[in-house]
Amino acid sequence: MTCAAAQKQLVDRLLTIHEPGESEAMAVWVMESVTGERHPKKELLLNEVQVAKLDTVTQRLLQNEPLQYVLQESWFCGYKFYVDENVLIPRPETEELVEWIIANCKFPLGDLTITDIGTGSGCIAISLKRKLRKADVMGIDVSPGAINVAQRNATTLGVEVNFKQADFLDPTTWASLPVSDIIVSNPPYIPEKDKATMHPNVLDHEPHTALFVADNDALVFYKALAAFGKSNLREDGSIFMEIHENLGQQCLDLFLKEGYQTELKKDMQGKDRMVLARLK
């Protein structure tokens, strides 16, 4: 079977559960992974091992397993990260959060300290370290599995980031965390009630502890971040956060009440997605 024929066959099968554009994009990514070539030639003949891998990948995709978990890779800020079901799949809107942080950095960077709360795959912490080489970066997560993934990515991408397993919602852990110039977090923020509207490839595979919060306390992590900032944020420091698109004003009100100056930023789709908070 040629690469072109295999790709067409894969697209046809994916069309049973995905939109045409998504099916085409997924098929291109799969064929690159199967062949090991960035742009495999259409006439390339697949060998038995490649055909077997393609069949396995196809079956998993047809079970609504996310492509990134199937291939164990995801691109973020131009870097390829290892991912598995211990961590969320990095999203494009989170890249905007990283870009916003970099745009607001004060130079020189020699004394810059950054703490990433709920680091997951380490995509935020590692991308910041890659782009701000002189910064001292730490990432924390409650999940030991996530910490292992993040450390693996840091090693692969050639950066030194200090990862620590800790329950951020337990204030007794805060004393062990650094005082930082920048605190960044993409915490769990989806109310449990939203599960009914979510796609199976997210709901059935991505870690719920990194996605969901109780309906009656959707801002639980932001309350903790506001309190943490008062003890672990340097003078003139900033907290950058990704938020639920429907909770922008509530997040602003929370941080304003706690004495912060705030800024709300929309993502590329025009949704309220990021908040910047600075202590007055």
Report yes or no on 92 lying in a domain.
Answer: yes
Which amino acid type is present at position 228?
F
Percent of the chain topping pLDDT 90: 80
Report yes or no on 257 lying in a domain.
Answer: yes
Q: Evaluate the CA torsion angle 21, 90, 3, 52 in order and state its sign.
A: negative
pLDDT digit string, tens, across residues 3-31: 999 999 999 999 999 999 999 999 999 99
pLDDT digit string, tens, across residues 183-192: 999 998 777 7
Within this chain, do residues 148 and 33 fall inside the same structural domain, yes or no?
no
Within this chain, do residues 127 and 47 fall inside the same structural domain, yes or no?
no
Within this chain, do residues 259 and 157 fall inside the same structural domain, yes or no?
yes
So what's the pLDDT on residue 51?
Answer: 94
What is the C-alpha to C-alpha distance for residues 209 and 92, in angstroms, rounded to an integer? 20
Within this chain, do residues 115 and 9 fall inside the same structural domain, yes or no?
no
Within this chain, do residues 275 and 241 fall inside the same structural domain, yes or no?
yes
Within this chain, do residues 180 and 246 fall inside the same structural domain, yes or no?
yes
110, 90 Cβ separation under 8 angstroms: no
Report yes or no on 54 lying in a domain.
Answer: yes
Report yes or no on 219 lying in a domain.
Answer: yes
Please identify which residue in the block is written with the tokens 């309220």.
272
Within this chain, do residues 54 and 162 fall inside the same structural domain, yes or no?
no
Q: Is the per-residue pLDDT at 215 higher than 90?
A: no
Total domains present in the chain: 2
Q: Is the per-residue pLDDT at 213 higher than 80?
A: no
Q: Last residue of some domain: 63, 78, 108? A: 63
Mean per-residue pLDDT over the chain, rounded: 92
Question: What is the band of 95 on the pLDDT scale with cuts at 50, 70, 90?
Answer: very high
pTM of the predicted model, to two decimals?
0.92
Averaged pLDDT for residues 190-219 = 73
- Of the listed ranges 127-131, 132-136, 201-205, the least confidently predicted one is 201-205
Q: Is the per-residue pLDDT at 214 higher than 80?
A: no
Within this chain, do residues 41 and 159 fall inside the same structural domain, yes or no?
no
Report yes or no on 70 lying in a domain.
Answer: no
Report yes or no on 21 lying in a domain.
Answer: yes
Within this chain, do residues 41 and 132 fall inside the same structural domain, yes or no?
no
So what's the pLDDT on residue 28?
Answer: 95
So what's the pLDDT on residue 189?
Answer: 75
Within this chain, do residues 174 and 205 fall inside the same structural domain, yes or no?
yes
Within this chain, do residues 155 and 16 fall inside the same structural domain, yes or no?
no
What is the C-alpha to C-alpha distance for residues 245 and 179, in angstroms, rounded to an integer? 29
Within this chain, do residues 210 and 271 fall inside the same structural domain, yes or no?
yes
Q: Is the per-residue pLDDT at 57 higher than 80?
A: yes
What is the C-alpha to C-alpha distance for residues 243 and 217, in angstroms, rounded to an integer? 14
So what's the pLDDT on residue 280?
Answer: 77
Give me the domain span that covers residue 58.
Answer: 3-63
So what's the pLDDT on residue 210?
Answer: 74
Report yes or no on 175 lying in a domain.
Answer: yes
Report yes or no on 78 lying in a domain.
Answer: no
pLDDT digit string, tens, across residues 221-238: 999 999 999 999 998 899
In this structure, what CATH number is given to the domain that contains residue 234?
3.40.50.150
